[in-house]
Structure 1
Amino acid sequence: MKNPNKKNVNIPLKALLALSILVLLPLFVKGQDRELSIAEALAWSYSNNEQIKRYSERVTQKIYEDKAAKGNFLPSINFLAGYTYLSENMEVNTSQVKSSLDDLGGKYGAAFVETYGDEIGLSGITSEAAYSTIVNALGDLPAYNVVVDNQQIPTAAITATQPIFTGGKIIAGKKYAEAELETANIELKQVKNDIAHELIERYLDVVLLKQVVKTRFEVYNGMLKHKEQAARAIQLEILPKHVLLRAEVAVANAERDLSKDQNTLQLAKMALRTTMSMPDSEIFQVMDSIPYHELNLDFNQLLNTAYTQQPVLELIDQKEIMAKQSHTLEKSKFLPNVAAFGTYNMYRDQLPIIPSRFIVGVQAQINIFNGFKDVNKLKASSHLQKEVENAKQYATEQIHLLVKSNYINVLNQRKLYHSHLTTVDLAKENLRINTRRFEEGLGKSIDVIDASLLYEKSKVEQLVALNDYYKAIASLYTSVGEPEKIIPMIGSK
Structure 2
Amino acid sequence: MKNRIREFEKPRLIVLLILIITILFPLFVKGQERELSMAQALELSYHNNEQIKRYSERVEQKIYADKAAKGNFLPSVNLLFGYTYLSENMEVNTSQLKSSLDDLGGKYGAAFVEAYGDQIGLSGITSETAYSTIVNALSQLPAYNVVIDNQQIPTAAITATQPIFTGGKIIAGKKYAKAELETANIELKQIKNEIANELIERYLNVVLLNQVVKTRQQVYEGMLKHKEQAARAIQLEILPKHVLLRAQVAVANAEKDLNNDLNKLQLAKMALRTTMNLPDSEAFRVMDSIAYHHLSLDLDSLLNTAYVQQPALELINQKEIMAKQSHAIEKSKFMPNIAAFGTFNMLREDLPIIPPKFIVGVQAQINIFNGFKDINKLKASKHLQKEVENAKKYATQQIHLLVESNYINALNQQKLYTSHITTVDLAKENLRINTRRFEEGLGKSIDVIDASLLYEKSKVEQLVALDGYYKAIVNLYTAIGEPEKIIPIITSK
TM category (shorter chain) comes to: over 0.9
The CA deviation string for residues 358-397 of structure 1, in whole angstroms up to 9 with x for no partner, is 1100000001111111111111111111111111111111
Paired letter, 1:153: I
CA distances 1:234-290 after superposition (whole Å, capped 9, x unpaired): 222222222222222211111111111111111111111111112222221100100
Aligned pairs for 1:113-262 within 5 A = 113-262=113-262
What's the TM-score once normalised by structure 2's chain length? 0.92
| Contact kept in structure 2, 1:334 and 1:367, CA below 8 Å | yes
Alignment of 1:331 onto 2:331: yes
Q: Structure 1 stretch 98-107 or stretch 233-242: which is displaced more?
A: 233-242
Shift in Å, 1:99: 1.2
Q: Which residue of structure 1 lines up, in the alignment, with residue 297 of structure 2?
A: 297
How many angstroms apart in 1 are the aligned matches of 2:78 and 2:54? 36
State the AA in 2 paired with 1:289. S
- What is aligned with 1:98? 98
Q: Give the deviation of 1:350 after TM superposition.
A: 1.1
Which residue identity lines up with residue 439 of structure 2 in the other structure?
Answer: E
Which runs of structure 2 are paired with 1:369-448 in the superposition (5 Å)? 369-448=369-448
Percentage identity across aligned positions? 84
Residue 276 (structure 1) aligns with = 276
For residue 491 of structure 2, what is the aligned residue in structure 1?
Answer: 491
Deviation at 1:49, TM superposition (A): 1.4
- Displacement of 1:445 after TM fit? 1.8
* Equivalent residue number for residue 52 of structure 1: 52
Alpha-carbon separation, structure 2, partners of 1:471 and 1:210: 16
Aligned match of 2:316: 316
Q: Distance in 2 between matches of 1:201 and 1:115?
A: 107
Q: Which amino acid letter does the alignment assign opposite residue 209 of structure 2?
A: L
Q: Distance in 2 between matches of 1:98 and 1:80?
A: 36
1: distance between equivalents of 2:211 and 2:138?
115
Counterpart residue identity of residue 238, structure 2: I
Are the counterparts in 2 of residues 37 and 492 from structure 1 also a CA contact under 8 Å?
Answer: no
Matched residue, 1:458: 458
One-letter code of the match for 1:106?
Answer: G
> Which sections of structure 1, spanning at least 5 residues, go unmatched?
1-27
Bigger mean CA offset, 278-287 vs 329-338: 278-287
Deviates more, 1:62-71 or 1:40-49: 40-49
| DSSP 3-state at the match of 1:88 | coil
CA contact (8 A) 1:39 1:492 kept: no
Deviation string 1:114-141 (CA, Å, 9 cap, x unpaired) is 1111112222222122212211121111
Residue identity matched to 1:394:
Y
* Alignment partners' CA distance in 1, 2:85 and 2:220: 96
CA drift at 1:442: 2.1
Cα distance in 1 for partners of 2:155, 2:297 equals 76
Displacement after TM superposition at 1:179 (Å)? 0.8
Distance 1:486 1:356 in 2: 74
Is the partner of 1:119 in helix, strand or coil?
Answer: coil
Compared CA separation, residues 220 and 130, structure 1 to 2 (3 A): same
Partners of 1:380 and 1:118 in 2: CA distance: 79
Distance of 1:97 and 1:246 partners within structure 2:
123
CA deviations over 1:158-179 (Å, ceiling 9, x no partner): 1101000101111111111111
**In structure 2, distance between residues paired with 1:444 and 1:325:** 81
Which 10-residue stretch deviates more, 297-306 or 227-236?
Answer: 227-236
Equivalent position SS for 2:296: coil
Cα displacement string for residues 389-434 of structure 1 (whole angstroms, at most 9, x for unaligned residues): 1111111111111111111111100100011111111111111122
**Secondary structure class of the residue paired with 1:293:** coil
Distance 1:347 1:29 in 2: 81
- Call closer, same or farther: CA 1:87–1:239 in 2, change over 3 Å: same
**In the aligned structure 1, how far is the partner of 2:305 from the partner of 2:91?**
80
Aligned to 1:8: none
**Counterpart mapping for 1:341-356 below 5 A:** 341-356=341-356
The residue number in structure 2 matching 1:17 is none
Instruction: Name the aligned partner's letter for residue 321 of structure 2.
Output: I
Contact persistence 1:38–1:492 (CA under 8 A): no
Deviations 1:409-464 (CA, angstroms, capped at 9, x unpaired): 11100100011111111111111122122222222222221211111111100000
| Other-structure match for 2:474 | 474
Aligned equivalent of 2:6: none
Q: Which residue of 2 aligns with 1:361?
A: 361
| Secondary structure of the structure 2 residue equivalent to 1:190 | helix
Work out the CA distance in 1 between the residues paired with 2:165 and 2:402: 48
Aligned residue identity for 1:432 = R
Which residue number in structure 2 is paired with residue 13 of structure 1?
A: none
C-alpha contact (below 8 Å) 1:477/1:486 kept by paired residues? yes
**SS in structure 2 of the partner of residue 441 of structure 1:** coil
Sort the Cα spacing of 1:492 and 1:295 in 2 relative to 1 into closer, same or farther, 3 A. Answer: closer
**Structure 2: how far apart are the matches of 1:242 and 1:86?**
116
2 CA distance for matches of 1:426 and 1:180?
60
Q: Which amino acid aligns with 1:409?
A: N
Deviation of 1:29 after TM superposition, in Å, equals 10
Using the TM superposition, name which of 34-43 and 206-215 deviates more: 34-43
Moved over 6 A (4+): none
CA contact (8 A) 1:89 1:151 kept: yes
Over aligned residue pairs, what C-alpha RMSD do you find?
A: 1.5
Q: Is the 8 A contact 1:312 1:395 kept in 2?
A: yes
Using the alignment, how far apart are the partners of 1:54 and 1:302 within structure 2? 30
Secondary structure at the aligned position of 1:453 is classed as helix
> 2 CA distance for matches of 1:333 and 1:234?
100
- The verdict on how the C-alpha distance between 1:100 and 1:248 changes in structure 2, with shifts beyond 3 A counting, is same
Q: Deviations over 1:77-114 (max 9, x none)?
A: 11111111111111111111111111111111111111
Would the alpha carbon gap of residues 268 and 30 (structure 1) be closer, same or farther in structure 2, given more than 3 Å must change? closer
Residue type of the alignment partner of 1:393:
K
Letter in 1 for 2:65: E
